[in-house]
Amino acid sequence: MPVRGARPPLKTRILLVGSEIRTAGALAAARQAGLEPVVYPDAGGDPEALTEAARGAGVDGIYSADEAHAELVAAAAHNLGLPCFSERAARLLRNKEALRAVLAKDTEMNPRYGVADTLAGAQQILERLGLPGVVKPVDGSGGCGALIVRDMDDASLAFVRASRAASNGRVLVEPYLAGTEYRVVCHSGAGRWGTIAVLSNVPAGRDHLFDRAVVAPVRVAGPLRARLREQVRTAMRLAGGFQGVVVFEFLAVGEALYLLEIAHINETPALATGLFPAICGIDLLELDVSSSVGRSFAAEPRFTRCGALWWLKPRSGIVSSVLGIAEARAVPGVAAIEVSAKVGTVLGHQVDAPSRDAAGYVLATARTPRRALEKAQYASEYLRFETSAALEY
C-alpha cells in the first residue's frame, strides 16, 4: 500500500533527438517502454548545447531517432557518461566512406570501390571497376540517391543524384555484384551482443537498390553462419561499441562475403514495429529506445513465425482513392496492412526507400518464409491506388 503523502516513483526520462517523423515513432516506443520522453526542440549541431539541455532536463539517456543525428547524440551522451554508440560507431552508421576506410585496414570485407567528388572522377572509377556499377552518396541510408549504372551514358545522372543526396557532395562507386544478401539484426550493449534474426530480401528492380520485400527469419547454417558471426564480431570491434539494435548488411558472392552497410534499426520502422512484433513478439524500436537508458530488455523471441513485408507500388500522381483493403485483409495469413498514402497524397516514382515507404506495405506470416512472401505479394495485388496526374487535379 502506498504511503500517504509519499511522492510517486519518478519515471526514467529520455531525451529524443531527430527529425519530426522519426521522433514521433520514438515517442510512441518510449511511452510503450514506460519511459518519460522529452523531445529536444532544436538539434542543431552543437554537442555542448545538447549536453547542457540533457543535463538541465535531468534525463537518464539520449536517443538519436535517426542516423543523421547519431554523431551529435554520441558526443553529448559521452560527455554525460550515458549509454550510447561510440562516436566512431555513430560515424560508421552514417558515413560509407568512413566504413570502407576502417574495413580496408584490417579486413577483406570491402568490395572494390572508389570515392569521387566530380563527374570525371566517378567516370574514371566506373571505367576501372567495370559495368554495371553502383553510384551512391557517401552518407545516408535506405538507398537514397543511389543508382545502378549499366551504361556510361547514365553516369552523369547517377553522379548528380548521389552527390546532391550527400552532405558533402562526395559519392561512393562500387561494382554491382550479383549475389545473396543477408541482413543480420543484432542487439548490442554493455559490452555484449547477440543476433536476433537474419533477413533476406527481394530487390526492387533493375536500376534501384532498395528492397521490394524482406523475409525473416532465414536459416543460415554451416560455414556461412560461422563467417557471418565472425564478421559481425570484427565489425563490432572495429567500431568501438554499438548500443541498441543495428543491422549488418552482407553480400555473399561465391566464396567472398562483403559488408555493404551498417544501419540503425530506426531507419527501417516497418521492420522494427511491423515485421518483428509479428514474427517473434519483439518491438525492436522499443528495445532500441530502452537500450539508450541502459535498461535490459529480453531479446529472446516470445514465439516464432516466418514473415514477409511486401511494399506497395502504386502509380505516381495524386491519390484519389485506395481500393481493395478489405479484400487484402481477408487473405489468410495477412497480419497487417499499412497504407501510408492517404487521399490527397502526392506520390512520386519509387527510387529509394523513403519514396517506397510513402505508399505502404502488406505484412503476412506463415510456416515458411517463401509461403509468407507469396501471401504478402498475393494480398498486395488486391490493393489499387487510383491516382491522377498533378496537372489534371
Residue 375 has a pLDDT of 97
Q: Which CATH superfamily is 112-175 part of?
A: ATP-grasp fold, A domain (3.30.1490.20)
Per-residue pLDDT for 294 more than 50? yes
Phi, psi of 304 (to 5 degrees): -135, 120
Residue-wise pLDDT tens digits, 21-62: 889 999 999 999 999 999 997 767 899 999 999 999 999 999
Strand partners for 317: 347
Q: Give the span between the Cα atoms of 138 and 149, in whole angstroms.
A: 17
Cell of 180: 545473396
Q: Give the span between the Cα atoms of 129 and 138, in whole angstroms.
A: 18
Per-residue pLDDT for 392 more than 60? no
Place of cell 543484432: 186
Cell of 266: 530506426
Best-predicted range by mean pLDDT (7-16, 39-48, 244-253, 383-392): 244-253
Q: Give the span between the Cα atoms of 334 and 11, in whole angstroms.
A: 37
- In eight-state DSSP terms, residue 113 is -
The CATH T-level fold of domain 13-93 is Rossmann fold (3.40.50)
Residue 393 has a pLDDT of 42
- In eight-state DSSP terms, residue 390 is G
Per-residue pLDDT for 318 more than 70? yes
Domain regions of the chain by residue span:
13-93, 112-175, 180-291, 307-392
Per-residue pLDDT for 72 more than 90? yes
- In three-state secondary structure terms, 36 is strand
Whole-model pTM: value is 0.91
Per-residue pLDDT for 192 more than 80? yes
pLDDT > 90 fraction of the chain, expressed in percent and rounded: 75
203's CB contacts (< 8 A; 6+ apart) are 209, 211, 212
74's CB contacts (< 8 A; 6+ apart) are 64, 84, 85, 86, 87, 89, 90
Residue 206 has a pLDDT of 66
Cell of 245: 539494435
Q: Give the span between the Cα atoms of 148 and 157, in whole angstroms.
A: 10
Band (332; pLDDT cuts 50, 70, 90)? very high
Residue-wise pLDDT tens digits, 233-291: 999 999 988 999 999 999 999 999 999 999 999 888 899 999 999 999 999 999 999 99
Find out if CATH 3.90.1150.10 is the number for domain 180-291.
no
Q: Give the span between the Cα atoms of 70 and 65, in whole angstroms.
A: 8
* Contact in structure between 71 and 94 (CB atoms under 8 Å): yes
- Following DSSP, what letter does each residue of 167-187 receive, concatenated? SSS-EEEEE----EEEEEEEE
Residue 273 has a pLDDT of 93
The answer to which of 107-121, 197-211, 218-232 has the lowest mean pLDDT is 197-211
